[in-house]
């Protein structure tokens, strides 16, 4: 039996359909502007979606489809926010993650590369035919190479030679010039960041992207924060992230706290990084860890893209309430956990972020909504983080099974 509510709804839908058809007929004869039609159909859609019975049927329909975009730039950002069921059930919190691996360059760094290049073009510091240089372990390089090409520019990327080899191969395939360098301290002139900076200074129409210090990085992630706010409809209690440049945690924390100061922001820091000390104790590093004193690796972790021993301009903007330390084993086990329980194949920083989300859930207690970032996919990490032989060599062969999170300390 059709109740009075359903009858009224059917009548409204029928009337709306008739109206739309009449408008369509008139538009063919009297050239009614298409925009008017579009606006009307959107209005009808909005009215109908508001009804509880119709909402179910229309969910995921045309409103969630993107309109025609303008090339590569319109593919960047606006990533889905997904609920990680297993982590949510095990912690009693809603654990949500931004699927940044769905950006066209495969990582969260597309947002940063696009903002840096668009700002430089807008300010006249870069023009088509120009060169964008950067020192990076790879993800930002891929994003810069793609975004530079989209604006008729080229890319030069300097990176340490112990970064996963497929990162350099990918950059070369994208047409970037790549220089791989022995890892040295940032104070050394041959540090990959300094090499990239010099290269831009040597020629006209060239910019050093400078993702660590460039505030465009932070600005790119204000948008990430806005997306999280919109996608959760403001129902977010905490945000957790590792930091490399600090752009993600800075931009997201500033946006969310501006909307609601009570949102908690936590850092998850890998072994060897000094940011945990900075947040938890107010000091950057112990004397032995100071930049320039470590001989080879600036820090000692399997994770890539996160962890640093200096305070960047971008991290300095972050509004962080607390910090957790994460171990390589926790990250490796988490990556396998996400694959086993969710079919999610993520990179090392994304896995570490999920470790951080679990630690935040335990600190806050059940019932909270915690958001983190899946920075990139696992395919970028086949020679290290997702290599069984590499993991075995480093005593990191994953051992956990099932759905329990006992491996997170
Ligand atoms: C894969 C990956 N994850 C995470 C990060 C860290 O993000 P942010 O630089 O915004 O702190 C980076 C930075 O390079 C990265 O490449």
Helix, coil or strand: residue 196: helix
What is residue 384's three-state secondary structure?
coil
pLDDT recorded at residue 19? 46
Mean pLDDT calculated for residue range 4-17:
50
pLDDT at position 314 is 98
Q: Where residue 291 falls among pLDDT bands split at 50, 70, 90?
A: low
From first CA to last CA, the distance across the chain in angstroms is 57
- Please give, one letter per residue, the 3-state secondary structure of 20-79: HHHHHHHHHHHCCCHHHHHHHHHHHHHHHHCCHHHHHHHCCCHHHCCCCCCCHHHHCCCC
Tell me what pLDDT residue 163 has: 75
- Compute, in angstroms, the gap from residue 38 CA to the centroid of ligand 1: 40
Ligand 1 pocket, residue 245 CB under 6 Å? yes
What residues act catalytically?
109
Q: Which of 142-151, 262-271, 287-296, 394-403 has the lowest mean pLDDT?
A: 287-296
Give the closest residue (by CA) to ligand 1 atom 4. Answer: 305
Can you tell me the mean pLDDT for 16-38? 43
Query: Over the stretch 88-142, which tens digit does the pLDDT of each residue have?
Result: 999 999 999 999 999 999 999 999 999 999 999 999 999 999 999 999 876 899 9
pLDDT band at residue 268, thresholds of 50, 70 and 90?
A: very high
Which ranges in 61-164 belong to alpha helices (H)? 85-91, 109-122, 139-150
- Separation of CA 215 and ligand 1 centre (Å): 15
Is residue 53 within 8 Å of residue 9, measured between CB atoms?
A: yes
Radius of gyration of the chain (CA): 24
């129902």: which residue's tokens? 235
Please tell me if the CB atom of residue 139 comes closer than 6 angstroms to any atom of ligand 1: yes
- Cα dist from 380 to 161, 294, 305, 328, 336, whole Å: 15, 27, 12, 17, 15
**Residue 305 CB–ligand 1 contact under 6 Å:** yes
326-380 pLDDT tens trace: 999 999 999 999 999 999 999 999 999 999 999 999 999 999 999 999 999 999 8
pLDDT of residue 383: 87
- Is a pLDDT exceeding 80 seen at residue 295? no
**Which atom of ligand 1 is nearest the CA belonging to 212?**
9
pLDDT of residue 50: 42
Residue 397 pLDDT > 60? yes
| Residue 300's pLDDT band (cuts 50, 70, 90) | confident
- The confidence band for 11, taking pLDDT boundaries of 50, 70 and 90, is low
Cα dihedral sign, 59-231-371-144: positive
φ/ψ of 44, rounded to 5, equals -60, -45
Distance from the alpha carbon of residue 260 to the mean position of ligand 1, in angstroms: 25
Q: How high is the mean pLDDT of the chain?
A: 86
List Cα–Cα distances, 16 to 19, 170, 298, 350, in angstroms: 5, 52, 65, 46
Question: Which residue's alpha carbon is at the smallest distance from atom 2 of ligand 1?
Answer: 305
Question: For ligand 1, is residue 353 a contact (CB within 6 Å)?
Answer: no
Rounded Cα distance, 136 and 140, in Å: 6
- Express each pLDDT in 145-176 by its tens digit: 999 999 999 999 999 888 777 778 889 999 99
């Amino acid at each position: 039996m059709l109740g009075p509510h359903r009858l009224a709804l059917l009548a409204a839908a029928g009337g709306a359909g008739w109206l739309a058809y009449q408008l369509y007929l008139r538009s063919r004869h009297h050239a009614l502007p298409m925009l008017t039609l579009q606006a009307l159909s959107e209005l009808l859609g909005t009215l109908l979606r508001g009804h509880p019975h119709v909402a179910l049927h229309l969910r995921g329909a045309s409103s969630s489809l993107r309109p025609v975009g303008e090339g590569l730039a319109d593919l960047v950002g606006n990533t889905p926010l997904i609920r990680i069921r297993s982590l949510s059930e095990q912690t009693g919190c809603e654990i949500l993650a931004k699927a940044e691996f769905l950006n066209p360059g495969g990582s969260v760094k597309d947002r940063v590369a696009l903002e840096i290049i668009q700002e430089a073009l807008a300010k006249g510091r870069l023009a088509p035919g120009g060169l964008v240089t950067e020192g990076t372990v790879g993800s930002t390089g891929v994003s810069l190479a793609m975004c530079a090409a989209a604006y008729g520019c080229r890319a030069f990327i300097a990176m340490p030679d112990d970064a996963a080899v497929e990162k350099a191969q990918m950059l070369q395939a994208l047409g970037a010039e790549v220089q791989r360098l022995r890892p040295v301290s940032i104070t050394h002139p041959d540090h990959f960041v300094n090499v990239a900076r010099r290269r831009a200074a040597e020629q006209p129409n060239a910019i050093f992207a400078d993702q660590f210090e460039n505030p465009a990085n932070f600005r790119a992630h204000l948008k990430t924060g806005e997306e999280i706010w919109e996608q959760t409809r403001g129902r977010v209690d905490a945000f957790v992230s590792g930091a490399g440049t600090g752009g993600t945690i800075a931009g997201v924390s500033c946006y969310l706290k501006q909307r609601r100061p009570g949102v908690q922001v936590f850092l998850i820091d890998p072994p060897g990084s000094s940011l945990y000390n900075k947040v938890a104790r107010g000091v950057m590093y112990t004397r032995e860890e100071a930049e320039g004193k470590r001989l080879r690796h600036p820090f000692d972790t399997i994770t890539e893209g996160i962890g640093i021993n200096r305070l960047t301009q971008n991290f300095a903007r972050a509004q962080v309430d607390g910090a957790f330390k994460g171990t390589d084993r926790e990250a490796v086990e988490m990556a396998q956990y996400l694959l086993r329980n969710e079919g999610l194949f993520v990179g090392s920083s994304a896995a570490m972020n999920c470790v951080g989300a679990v630690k935040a859930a335990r600190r806050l207690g059940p019932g909270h909504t915690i958001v983190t970032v899946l920075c990139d996919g696992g395919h970028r990490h086949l020679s290290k983080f997702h290599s069984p032989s590499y993991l075995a060599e480093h005593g990191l062969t994953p051992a956990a099974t099932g759905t329990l999170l006992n491996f997170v300390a």
